[in-house]
Every structure is written in structure tokens, then in C-alpha cells.
Amino acid sequence: MFSYRHAFHAGNHGDVLKHVTLLAVLRHLMRKPGPLLLVDTHAGAGRYRLDGAQAVKSAEAAAGVLRLQGGGHGAGAALPRMPAAHILQDYLALLQRFNGPAANAWTVYPGSPAIMHALMSEPGRAGVADRLHLFEWHPTVHELLARQLASWPDARRVLLRRADGFAGLRGELPPPRAASQPRRAFVLIDPAYEVKTDYDAVLQATADALARCATGVYMIWHPVVAQPGAVALPRRLQSLAGRADRAWLHATLDVGRTTAPRAGADVRGGMAASGVFVINPPYTLAEGLRAALPWLAQALTRGNAERWQVEQHGA
């Protein structure tokens, strides 16, 4: 327990799928002026060095987000022109912003808390009382994130707790009602899946969250690996959303596998595919992902296979 460090995986294909989807969902939710409660149950360190020892050792970012630099020049092989998919261009523009407008080689990768904070701090959200609540249990990672938070503007709208994010989510929902505004919440559940009980914990936390706030938007990242808990998770989430009469979307991205996982690597090391499951997805999400994923699959392929899928129900 607690050996997982996301710094080895930051910017890998799983992060790319997760953060492109996160950005697309939040852009849609932020079109409305009402304040949002954003919750990240497993926040990580917030920001990662792509030239740091952990990223260099795993080489996952090199095979992931770094291939997308310059609109896909990093992929080496000739790529089709990037589709005019706003969602992808938005993601690349955000990465460029974190690295500085003149940077040719990206060295910084924003994790989910940094992405959420960047969006709620944009001029278009000025005067909107969005709030960001973060949970991170690992003492060292929590400390890294706390240090970053100290330098963020408007940090009083951000709350970081060193606590179990599954249990902590219960106290967050339903979000308080802002004066005459509907309750609006977005929750990212992105555990390390370091322990097999994480799969059941995701289910339980999501079921409890839906019971407390049926209209919240819930996004769960999951690895696609040959473990019984991992295989069953998307189907169990579909049943859960169905029982609650909620729309859902499930997207997967498979980049194929050519390399063996590092010795001692966790579930993300050597992983060929991952998925995002969104409950109450914005109606624009499926179309955005269907435009983005074929290009991403080609840009990130490891040469032997690339596949993607977007399924939805009730959206």
C-alpha cells in the first residue's frame, strides 16, 4: 500500500485519455454561469516534470503526451492532419500554456488538480464561485501538492485534505445550494488501483454519490488489464447508472503493447489500454471523443494495434 507514484505515469496514454475527457467535460459544464463544486478524490501531486528521473525512467510520457508536441510531430511517423476537434486542440493549447508559449520541448505535465484549477481561474469564470476540493492520502504526494497550492492564485477556493478520497466524497455531496442556483457538482475518481479493493471502492463511492446527488457528473478512470476486478468494472458501472436511471458514456483507448512492463511496475506500467466512464455526460462529449480518439490512437500507437471505442446510453 502507498507505493504508487503517479510521477512514473504522468503524461502516458491513460493520462492523455483522462485529461482530454476531463477538459471536454469541464468546458461544457463551464458554459453555464452557475458555480460548480469540483472534487478530485485521488488528486496526485498536481504537476509533474517530464524531464524528471521518474518520467525518464518509465519513458511513459515519451511514448505518450510527448508524441503530441507540435500537433503530433513527436509521433515520428507521418500522421494524418489533426482533426479540427476543438477538444484536442484545447488540450494541446493547455499543455503549451503550462510549458510557456515559446517552449518547443514540453517539460511540465499538469495533473488533474492543475487542469481543474486552470479552468476555474480563466477570465470567463471570473466572478463565478467555483470551488475545488482535493483528496490525496499519500503523505509525500500530499506535501508536494500542498506546496504547489501555496503558489496558486485564489487558493482560498481550493481545499486540500490528506484523507481517503472514497470516504471523503460522502461529505462533499450534495454540494451546498448557491443563492437561487441549482446544485452542480463534478467528481473525478481516479484511484491508483494499487489494491484490488479499489474496484469495489469505486463502485461503492459512485453508488453513494449518485444517491446523494443524482445530477452530479461523475468521471471514473480505469485501466484495461486482465484482472477480474478491472474487467468487471465498466459493466458494473453501467448497471449502477442504469439502476439510477442515469445516462452514461464509456470511452476506451488501446495503443497496443510492444514492451514488457518494468519489473515491479504497478497496474499502469506496460498497460496497453484504459477507459473513462462518465455518468451524466455532457451531450457534446461523445461527438468530441469520436473526433479525437482515432487521431490520438494513431499518434500514440506502439505499432502493433490501435483501437478506440465510445459507447453511450441514454445521453
Q: How far is the CB of 182 from ligand SAM (least distance, A)?
A: 26
43 binds ligand SAM (CB under 6 A): yes
Q: How far is the CB of 262 from ligand SAM (least distance, A)?
A: 17
H or E element at residue 134: strand 131-135
Which of 130, 190, 198, 266 does the annotation list as catalytic? Answer: 190
Strands 47-49 and 108-110, bridge-based pairing: antiparallel
Give residue for cell 460522502: 170
Interface with ligand SAM (CB under 6 A), residue from 8, 91, 106, 137: 137
Q: How far is the CB of 189 from ligand SAM (least distance, A)?
A: 9
| Separation CA 94–CA 88 (nearest Å) | 10
Residues 173-232 that bind ligand SAM (CB under 6 A): 190-192
Query: 119: closest CA among 221, 19, 214, 189?
Result: 19
190 is catalytic: yes
Interface with ligand SAM (CB under 6 A), residue from 164, 200, 208, 287: 164
Give residue for cell 486540500: 160
42 binds ligand SAM (CB under 6 A): yes
Residue 290 is which amino acid?
R
Query: 85: closest CA among 299, 294, 315?
Result: 294
166 binds ligand SAM (CB under 6 A): yes
| Separation CA 206–CA 219 (nearest Å) | 9
Interface with ligand SAM (CB under 6 A), residue from 112, 148, 280, 301: 112
4 binds ligand SAM (CB under 6 A): yes
Query: 298: closest CA among 7, 55, 16?
Result: 16
Catalytic residues, by residue number, are: 190
Chain residues in the site for ligand SAM (CB under 6 A) = 4, 6, 18, 40, 42-44, 111-112, 135-138, 141, 164-166, 190-192
